[in-house]
A and B are shown apart, each in its own frame.
Chain A
Amino acid sequence: MNQSMRIAFRNVGRQKKRTVLLAGAVGLGFFIITLSGSLLGGIAASARKNFSAAFGGHLYFSGSVVSDRGSEIAVMADPGPLESVLAAHARDIASIHRRSGTSGTLIFGTRELRQTLTGVDFGREPDFAGGLRIVSGSLDGLSEPGALVLPEDAAERLGVRTGEAVLFRASTVHGQRNVTELVLIATYEGQSSFGVSAGYAGLGTVNSLLGLGPEEFQTLNVWLRDDRAIDAAAGRILADLAGKVPVEPREDEDPMKRMAERLLGGSGPRSVGDGEGWEGTRYGLTTLNDLMAQFTSILSIADALSFWVFLILLSITMVGILNSYRMVMVERTAEIGTLRALGLQKGGVRDIFLWEALFVSLYGALAGLAAALAVMALSRAAVLPGGTVLSFFLDSGRLPFSVDPIETVRNLVLLCAASLAAVSFPARAAARLPPAAALRAAY
């Protein structure tokens, strides 16, 4: 073992109070960055999971055709080319679902409520029921025509109970007004504000409301195997589609608005401008990342902010390390002279300081990490009240934490580098002490 390292290792325990203070400061910084980084990472992951569940997938392919009268009609008239391209990307894809959907007004007695309604092909999606956390009623009659499942808060606001009939008013894909009677069979734990949590009904039911045939649909929702690879997969699939079929340009539009228009519909078709038209089905793609872009950017701001806090704490700690080791140098001058007389080179003296700061930082980081993990474990015990938008960012009502090992290692490396940089000044000063003068210092 390196002699400098050994002495440094022992030196850490020499001035316990100082070590505890320095390591504590380092640990606090590491605790904060680990906790906040893990929380933000966890929130991002939870949001991705919860929003993809609410929107029903990661990629939402919409189709539209131009009507005789020049309106853009939201229907996947010819899914063939898209389906064959998706088949070629089967390795990325976990499952594909056919959906129709609209946004309209629920009417119960004299109460009205805006609500999105998604048509699900329950026959082809036997797993669907398992994904909802039912609050009241049951999903037994799910495949009955007119059966409706609503987010609990929407049912509450309308004052409707399971077994009761409600009206749903919306427009057909052509823009004609329509209304249908639905029977609420169940409510689930969801959040209907902002149109995030949809009501669910059979695909046929929604289609007839939209003026579509029973087997038609509007979107193909794709679940990917890896929800972190959404953009990559979207890019590859779009690249394969482009050239073969008309594809809607993705860049220029506000994705939230496009989502509202194309997927949630509810307000009738848009007129296609002169020279803007296309033949057959034009495909559009919206991704979960598009929809979450705003949220993601808020998260990354928070992430950057907590990183800055970490850097500030780090620089304060570095000043502490710098000053502490200046003092250490003075206290141990005679010892340094002794080591030099015994044959330790300048570099050896410097290394003792470097190692010592490194050990203190590692101890601190380890303590900070342990504290952060402990807090995370403790927070698992606390279940926050559900039924708010907040629950979309939680993991089953709990604060979601997800420790990113790469980020943790990055922070650790950063921390160690900063400590080494800070201690390098007193370390070099100690190395440069002339041995004779150092030895003359009182031991």
Chain B
Amino acid sequence: MRLRTFAAAALVLASFLRAAPLAAQASGTPDFKALLAAVDGRTNFRASDFSARLTLVSEDPSKGTETRSVRVFRRDRADTLLLLVLKPESELGQGYLRVDDSLWFYDPESRKFTHSSVKENFQGTDAKNSDFGLSSLAEDYAVAAHGEGRLGAHETWILDLKARHDETAYASRKVWITKKDGLLLKSEDYSLSGRLLRTAYYTSYARVGSSLICDRFTYVDALVAGKKTSVLMEEISLRPVPDEVFTKAYVERVNR
């Protein structure tokens, strides 16, 4: 159960990688919908494959600190994904493979794949369906209000987002986007009851090829004091991933 929980969390994170910047608009009040669409567009790598190594550090006041390492392969245009656990040693070789709308969990101990539908939710996690889909800020949220402000050294637009429909993960969000590059720097995610659930900080962007990709971000749980997860992304690559990576055979073989 714990393993699957972790893998599910990693999936969430993998999709949040998709939050990455593109060129900013000119001065004055920009077209916010276009700004959000740009944020969406840069997180979804439709033109190329994507791979990286993630290091996740989860701090939980009751469980202590846990560090994990995962390798991620993505091919967004086909909606396929592979996660391979590298650390801790005890979970080495576990894999999560998503192909053809199916999600397979591989356990090297039993050498078996267990099937679960993408539509399902992961027991024991807060992972939502929407977390697994492609980022769709522009489609799901309307800008209810906007303001400006500094966040650290950056001039940002501060947007209050309201859900356009009731099946988004959050009823409302508040996002900080740099004026200069259109980079998402921070997001506050609110419950239907209007309570802050978590704050996400996108603290570092790396240039990969021609685009900027967030390679360091932190989720801070707003309900449980001291609970947060930091993610560091290294070895980012947009080079083509061999087709065979997204197969069960590969998952089995790579673990041997």
A residues near B (Cβ < 8 Å) are: 67-69, 71, 105, 107, 109-112, 114, 167, 169, 171-172, 174-180, 208-209, 211, 267-271
B235 on the interface (CB 8 Å rule)?
no
B169 on the interface (CB 8 Å rule)?
yes
What total of chain B residues lie within 8 Å of the partner, measured CB to CB? 32
B34 on the interface (CB 8 Å rule)?
no
B residues near A (Cβ < 8 Å) are: 60-62, 119-124, 126, 128-130, 163, 165-171, 189, 191-193, 195, 197, 223-227
Contact between chains at A268 and B193 (CB < 8 Å): no
* A179, B223: Cα distance in complex, Å: 9
Contact between chains at A176 and B169 (CB < 8 Å): yes
Chain B residue with the shortest CB-CB distance to A111? B62
In the assembled complex, how far is the CB of residue B168 from the closest CB belonging to chain A, in whole angstroms? 6
Which secondary structure dominates chain B's binding surface?
loop
* A31, B227: Cα distance in complex, Å: 58
* A258, B144: Cα distance in complex, Å: 38
Contact between chains at A107 and B223 (CB < 8 Å): yes
* A169, B226: Cα distance in complex, Å: 17
Which of B62, B121, B122, B192 contacts A177, CB < 8 Å?
B192
In the assembled complex, how far is the CB of residue B119 from the closest CB belonging to chain A, in whole angstroms? 5
Chain A residues within 8 Å of B163, by CB = 176
Chain A residues within 8 Å of B192, by CB = 172, 176-178, 211
Chain A residues within 8 Å of B128, by CB = 171, 175, 177, 268
Contact between chains at A177 and B197 (CB < 8 Å): yes
Which of B124, B225, B226 contacts A114, CB < 8 Å?
B124
Contact between chains at B167 and A175 (CB < 8 Å): yes
Chain A residue with the shortest CB-CB distance to B198? A177
Chain B residues within 8 Å of A107, by CB = 223-224
In the assembled complex, how far is the CB of residue A128 from the closest CB belonging to chain B, in whole angstroms? 25
Known A172-B192, A178-B193; contact A68-B121, beta-carbon cutoff 8 A: no
Which of A68, A112, A174, A270 contacts B62, CB < 8 Å?
A112
Contact between chains at B224 and A110 (CB < 8 Å): yes
In the assembled complex, how far is the CB of residue A35 from the closest CB belonging to chain B, in whole angstroms? 38
Chain B residue with the shortest CB-CB distance to A210? B192
Contact between chains at A110 and B193 (CB < 8 Å): no
Chain A residue with the shortest CB-CB distance to B170? A177
Chain B residue with the shortest CB-CB distance to A172? B192
